[in-house]
Structure 1
C-alpha cells in the first residue's frame, strides 16, 4: 500500500504560469498548473492522465483558468470503436507506409520535419512559428519518456514523413503530439496515426485512447468527434478521487 502511494505521489515541483492568451477561445486568458516530476512512473502517469492531465517532457499539467471550464478531457473507447468509410480509405492509402514504434529520439530528420510542418501550419492556419531548437525538442518530446513514452515513426520509401509521440499507459494510450510532412497530405497521416493508436491499443488490450482536450467550437479540435465512441471528463479530480467519465457524442 505504501509503495502504491509513493508511486502516486512522486517527488515533484508544483507551480503555475502567468496568464497568457488562449489559443482556443479568442479573448480568454489561460493559466496552467504544472507538476515537474523528474522520474515519473507509469502508475503515476496513468493516474493523472486518466484525471485530465497532459504531459510534455517531465512536465505534467492542466488548465486552471479563472472563470472558464471549457477544456474537457476526451478519450476514445477502443473496444467499441466504429471505423467510418473515410477512415477505412485512409488505412488503404497507407498500405505501403512503414511504421516503427520505439523510444523517443532526436535526429536531424526529426527537427527538419517538425519545423517544416509548423512553417506550413503558420502559412495555412496562422500558427505562431519559429524553428524549434535541439534542446527544446529534447525537453518536450524525448526527456521524461521513462519506460512508457514512445514515438511512432511513419516512413515512406526510406523517408520520415510523420512522427507521433504517445504514452503507453496501464489503461490506454495518451496522444501527446503528431506532426507530418505536408507534401504527403493526400495520405491523411493525421487520421491514420490515430487509427494506428487504436489498433495498437487493441493489440495491447488497452481500452482507451486519451485524446487531450475538447473545446466546443474550437477549429483545432474539429477532427476529434470523428472518432467514436467517446467519453468526456469534466474537471481534474485528485488522484485520491475516482474520475467520472461520461459517454458523449460530439459529432
Structure 2
C-alpha cells in the first residue's frame, strides 16, 4: 500500500467488522493517510468533513445500512455550563492542566493501562503495550499536543508547573478552527470527580482563549449509552447530509 504523499489523498475501504457500539451491526470505514507537508491542512479539512484521526490515518464510518455515527462539535463561544458542570468545575478547582508536545511517558502509560483495565477490558485497545501507546502519541504529522491534568501540590505558586500525581491525559489536535479531542483517559478511581467532563470543559476554555469556534468530540453514536455524554455540551452542531446543523437537545439542569 502506497503511503507517500500525493497531490490528492487516496482513500481506501475496510472490510466489514463487528461494530463496537451497536450489537448486531457491522462497521466499515473509509480512510486515508495523513502524511507529507499538507498533512495538517488535510487533517483540518477532513475533520471538518466528519473524519477522525488515529495516528497518521484519517477515517470515517462508511457502513452500508447504518448512519448512527454522527460527528459532533461544540460551539465554544456560545457554550454555557449547566449547573452540574459548574459543580464539576468547583470539585476539581485544584487541578491544573498543562499543554505540552506529543511525547509519551512511563507515567502516562501507567495511567493509560489502569484506565483500559478498568473501563475497556474487551475493547480494541485492551492489549496495547508501552510501544503501542508511544506510537499512538508520537505517530502524527499534524499539530498534536498532550494535555496533562495534575492536582496542584500545596505550596505551589501561581504559574508554577504542577508536580502532583497525574490524573488525566488528553491527546489533542490543534486545528485552524478549534481543538479536536483525539483520545483522553483519566484515573478510574476518581470516577465521582467526573474528570472526563472536566477535561472537555477545559478544552472549551482553551478553545475560547485561542479565539477559535469549535471543540470536536468525535462521533456521537445514536443508541449507544456510553456515547450519550457528548450531547450534554450545548450548543453543538452535528454533521448531517446538509452540512453542520445545530442540534436541538433538552437543556441540562
Q: TM-score, normalised by structure 1?
A: 0.86
**Structure 1, unaligned runs of 5 or more:** 1-7, 236-242
SS across alignment from 1:65: coil
CA shift, 1:27, in A, is 0.5
Distance 1:13 1:111, change over 3 A: farther
Residue 190 of structure 1 corresponds to 196
CA shift, 1:190, in A, is 0.3
1:31 equivalenced with 2:28 (yes/no): yes
Residue 140 of structure 2 corresponds to 144
Residue 42 of structure 1 corresponds to 40
Q: CA RMSD in A?
A: 2.1
2:46 and 2:216 map into 1 onto residues whose CA distance is: 11
Distance 1:141 1:11, change over 3 A: farther
Distance 1:129 1:247, change over 3 A: closer
Residue 154 of structure 1 corresponds to 149
CA shift, 1:115, in A, is 0.8
CA shift, 1:46, in A, is 1.2
SS across alignment from 2:234: coil
SS across alignment from 1:153: strand
1:165 and 1:207 map into 2 onto residues whose CA distance is: 19
Distance 1:10 1:183, change over 3 A: farther
Moved more, 15-24 or 127-136: 127-136
Q: TM-score, normalised by structure 2?
A: 0.85
Cα-to-partner distance string for 1:56-104 (whole Å, 9 max, x where unaligned): 1111111111122221111111111121111111111111112110112
Distance 1:139 1:10, change over 3 A: farther
SS across alignment from 2:78: coil
Distance 1:13 1:137, change over 3 A: farther
For residues 1-251 of structure 1, the aligned pairs below 5 Å read: 12=9, 14-39=11-36, 40-122=38-120, 127=123, 130-146=126-142, 148-156=143-151, 157=153, 158-235=164-241, 244-251=243-250
Cα-to-partner distance string for 1:124-180 (whole Å, 9 max, x where unaligned): xx646634213321332221153x211110012421110011111001111111100
SS across alignment from 1:191: helix
Alignment coverage as a number of residue pairs: 234
1:129 and 1:197 map into 2 onto residues whose CA distance is: 24
Q: Is the 8 A contact 1:119 1:129 kept in 2?
A: no
SS across alignment from 1:151: strand
Q: Is the 8 A contact 1:42 1:170 kept in 2?
A: no
Q: Is the 8 A contact 2:35 2:141 kept in 1?
A: no
SS across alignment from 2:77: coil
Residue 156 of structure 2 corresponds to none
**Structure 2, unaligned runs of 5 or more:** 154-163
1:161 and 1:154 map into 2 onto residues whose CA distance is: 6
2:202 and 2:39 map into 1 onto residues whose CA distance is: 25
